[in-house]
Amino acid sequence: MIPSSKLPRHLKTRVPYPRVAPAPVDMGPPKIEIRKLDFYYGVSQALRNINLALADRSIAAFIGPSGCGKSTLLRVLNRMYALYPHQRAVGEVLIGGRDILGPTVDVADLRYRVGMVFQKPTPFPMSVFDNVAFGLKLAGEVRGSELAGRVESALKDAAIWDEIKGKLHADGRSLSGGQQQRVCIARTIAVQPEVLLLDEPTAALDPISTLKVEETLQALREKYCIVIVTHNLQQAARVSNVTGFMYMGELVEIGPSNEVFTTPKNRRTDDYITGRFG
Amino acid sequence: MNRRPLRKLKNWAFLGLSMLATLAGLACLAAILWTLISRGLAGMSARIFTQMTPPPGSAGGLLNALYGSAAMTLLGILVGSPIGVLAGTYLSEYGQTSRLATVVRFINDVLLSAPSIIIGLFIYEIIVVRMGHFSALAGALSLAVIAIPITLRTTEDMLNLVPVGMKDSSAAMGAYPWRTTLSILYPAARSGIVTGLLLAVARISGETAPLLFTALNNQFWSIDLNAPMANLPVVIFQFALSPYKDWQDLAWAGALIITATILILSVAARILLALLQSRGGGGPAQ
């Protein structure tokens, strides 16, 4: 038995997580509802009987070891999986009350309503302005004069306007990684989606950029239903209202973040967040 | 037992052999270039660019052949490259590993390494014989058939180098695949695709065999696409084999012009690729 004083710091205490996120506001009807969701990559099952409901104007974080299915869950919500053959979801997923898994759903329209930010920044090969305007032009709903205003407010919402207002016509790929990622967030929120999905959005960023992205998320909470997948437990604790712990394709536990991180109901959640496995 | 000296010896021997082989190859290239430059420069004069190919014994230039080569190369690339680029796009973005794509890819590889004289014969059979005469159009088409597999392959390779995340991000914005291809993938792979086009131009501007069967040659100035047209490779072929000294000199000058053009195009392609890649375009992103 190793004496407690010799343990690495993160294993010593059960409550090392900074808490800034407020408890979930009392929600109206849930923005996202998942019932009996199973997911398959070919014959191997990646998600088993997922049931949950997420509120609007809140941040939900999903944590769990690699391969637990948290990214898969995220990719169901905008049907990204449909881009790849042999991947299928079975069950019921409602976003804003509408089933998104049905055969008649217009996937392009769904993805327009449900934005996604990826782990690696993916600026398009065009100027910063055109990057952010991409989705708006795609929909063709926004006219020229209005476009500049929408781009500006998206960049402001993504907390990058001040850094970048002089470089709107620089190639998006010439920015730093942290700036690229926030431009990608701006690009995603420019179309004012109903839901914002983030798949490990800070995994490829340095700590300072990470902090800025997290501040951005805090600000966006006021407007959107945000779902974030992260390997960084501190991050989940810092930013989320609700945390779900996933393990081997199952949703082990989901609840208010302050409860999940301090008094988890499930033994496996406890083991994971105290660093005993995973 | 100490085997070190033996291993060192083997290393030196192997290094020596590979350097020898490299030198042999480079020496051949240098000899060719030297002959070409010394003989070609001797035949070079302003007449080359202002006068038509002459009958034996009189002075003349290569103007009609230069024009013909440029015209047929341009027409060939204009016809061939859209097919190559679009087919490459199909393979990379739509077909991927489907059966049709696999078959197309295989056939393209065969076409890529097919002797160009076969392609000349093919166009001869389906166009020259039917039309009853040689023509610049047939020449351009045979060059197009040679350009297709080159542009197809480079386009597919370059599109495959675009990070998957970029495609996924575009799809995640609600863009349909055609929009992603036009707005994201082509700009991202632009330098690579352009390089492929330049390499295809370099390749077809020096082709002789397919033109012998299709455009043949024309001693006079002609811009009629429906008639035989002069072109550098065939002029070089004819003049170099002739017993006349002034024809042979023109052939050397023409050979130098073709080689210099191809060299410039290849170098330009490489510089373009390096330039665009260094500022983040084309090829794999960071």
Position B244 pLDDT exceeds 60: yes
For residue A117, what is the nearest residue in chain B, using CA coordinates? Answer: B169
Written as one letter, the residue type at B281 is G
Across the interface, whether the CB atoms of A111 and B171 are under 8 A apart is answered yes
User: Does A125 contact B at CB distance below 8 Å?
Assistant: yes
User: Does A183 contact B at CB distance below 8 Å?
Assistant: no
Across the interface, whether the CB atoms of A173 and B183 are under 8 A apart is answered no
User: Does B181 contact A at CB distance below 8 Å?
Assistant: no
Chain A residues close to B165, C-beta within 8 Å: 118-120, 122
Query: Nearest-CA distance from B187 to chain A in Å?
Result: 6
Position B280 pLDDT exceeds 80: no
pLDDT by residue (tens digit) across B39-51? Answer: 999 888 889 999 9
User: Does B166 contact A at CB distance below 8 Å?
Assistant: yes
Q: Where are the beta strands (DSSP E) in chain A?
A: 32-41, 44-54, 58-63, 87-95, 98-99, 114-117, 195-199, 225-229, 242-247, 250-256
On whether residue A1 sits in a domain, the answer given is no
Q: Are A127 and A168 in contact (CB under 8 A)?
A: yes
Query: Nearest-CA distance from B123 to chain A in Å?
Result: 40
| pLDDT value of position A1 | 40
Chain B residues close to A128, C-beta within 8 Å: none
User: Does A124 contact B at CB distance below 8 Å?
Assistant: yes
User: Does A161 contact B at CB distance below 8 Å?
Assistant: no
User: What is the C-alpha to C-alpha distance for residues A240 and A273, in angstroms, rounded to an integer?
Assistant: 15
Query: The domain that contains A265 carries what CATH number?
Result: 3.40.50.300
Listed range (A10-14, A152-156, B32-36, B75-79) with the worst mean pLDDT = A10-14
List Cα–Cα distances, B80 to B84, B149, B225, in angstroms: 6, 9, 17
pLDDT by residue (tens digit) across B130-174? Answer: 999 999 999 999 999 999 999 999 999 999 999 988 999 999 998
Q: Are B84 and B148 in contact (CB under 8 A)?
A: yes
Position B285 pLDDT exceeds 70: no
Average pLDDT over residues B240-252: 92
When CB atoms are compared, the residue of A120, A125, A135 closest to B188 is A125
Angle at which helices B245-278 and B63-89 cross, to 10° = 30
User: Does A41 contact B at CB distance below 8 Å?
Assistant: no
User: Does A40 contact B at CB distance below 8 Å?
Assistant: no
Position B286 pLDDT exceeds 60: no
User: What is the C-alpha to C-alpha distance for residues A61 and A69, in angstroms, rounded to an integer?
Assistant: 13
Chain B residues close to A124, C-beta within 8 Å: 166, 169-170, 183-184, 187-188
Q: Which of A127, A138, A142 to mutate to test the interface with B (most CBs of B within 10 A)?
A: A138
On whether residue A15 sits in a domain, the answer given is no
Counting one residue from A and one from B, how many pairs have CB atoms under 8 Å apart?
Answer: 74
Q: Which 8-state DSSP code applies to residue A166?
A: G
Chain A residues close to B166, C-beta within 8 Å: 122, 124-125
On whether residue A225 sits in a domain, the answer given is yes
Average pLDDT over residues A69-87: 92
Chain B residues close to A115, C-beta within 8 Å: 172-173
For residue A84, what is the nearest residue in chain B, using CA coordinates? Answer: B168
User: Does A83 contact B at CB distance below 8 Å?
Assistant: yes
Q: Which 8-state DSSP code applies to residue A183?
A: H
Across the interface, whether the CB atoms of B184 and A125 are under 8 A apart is answered yes
| pLDDT value of position B228 | 92
User: What is the C-alpha to C-alpha distance for residues A241 and A254, in angstroms, rounded to an integer?
Assistant: 11
| pLDDT value of position A159 | 83
When CB atoms are compared, the residue of B169, B174, B280 closest to A112 is B174
Q: What is the H or E stretch that residue A268 is in?
A: helix A267-273
Query: Nearest-CA distance from A163 to chain B in Å?
Result: 21
Q: pLDDT grade, residue A33 (50/70/90)?
A: very high
Chain B residues close to A125, C-beta within 8 Å: 166, 184, 187-188, 190, 280-281
List Cα–Cα distances, A156 to A220, B37, B172, in angstroms: 11, 62, 22
On whether residue A139 sits in a domain, the answer given is no
Position A57 pLDDT exceeds 60: yes
User: Does A191 contact B at CB distance below 8 Å?
Assistant: yes
pLDDT by residue (tens digit) across A90-110? Answer: 999 999 989 999 888 999 899
On whether residue A44 sits in a domain, the answer given is yes
Angle at which helices B136-160 and B99-112 cross, to 10° = 130
For residue A191, what is the nearest residue in chain B, using CA coordinates? Answer: B173
| pLDDT value of position B281 | 44
Containing domain of residue A249, as a range?
A: 29-123+194-273
- Backbone angles phi and psi of A209, in degrees to 5: -65, -40
On whether residue A39 sits in a domain, the answer given is yes
Across the interface, whether the CB atoms of A173 and B280 are under 8 A apart is answered yes
Q: Structurally, how many domains does chain A consist of? A: 1
Q: pLDDT grade, residue A12 (50/70/90)?
A: very low
When CB atoms are compared, the residue of A118, A122, A174 closest to B280 is A174
Chain A residues close to B175, C-beta within 8 Å: 108, 134, 138
Written as one letter, the residue type at A168 is L
Which residues are within 8 A (CB) of B233 and not within 5 positions of it... i.e. 6 or more apart?
B69, B206, B207, B208, B211, B258
User: Does A105 contact B at CB distance below 8 Å?
Assistant: no
List Cα–Cα distances, A250 to A44, A93, A107, B113, in angstroms: 14, 16, 26, 53
Chain A residues close to B279, C-beta within 8 Å: 171, 174
Query: Nearest-CA distance from A135 to chain B in Å?
Result: 6
Across the interface, whether the CB atoms of A80 and B171 are under 8 A apart is answered yes
Task: Give Rg (Cα) of chain B.
Answer: 23
| pLDDT value of position A15 | 43
Across the interface, whether the CB atoms of A118 and B168 are under 8 A apart is answered yes
With helix as H, strand as E and coil as C, how does chain B read?
A: CCCHHHHHHHHHHHHHHHHHHHHHHHHHHHHHHHHHHHHHHHHCCHHHHCCCCCCCCCCCCCHHHHHHHHHHHHHHHHHHHHHHHHHHHHHHHHHCCCHHHHHHHHHHHHHHCCCHHHHHHHHHHHHHHHHCCCCHHHHHHHHHHHHHHHHHHHHHHHHHCCCHHHHHHHHHCCCCHHHHHHHHHHHHHHHHHHHHHHHHHHHHHCCCHHHHCCCCCCCCCCCCCCCCCCCHHHHHHHHHHCCCHHHHHHHHHHHHHHHHHHHHHHHHHHHHHHHHHHCCCCCCCC
User: What is the C-alpha to C-alpha distance for residues B43 and B63, in angstroms, rounded to an integer?
Assistant: 14
For residue A122, what is the nearest residue in chain B, using CA coordinates? Answer: B166
pTM score of the predicted model: 0.80
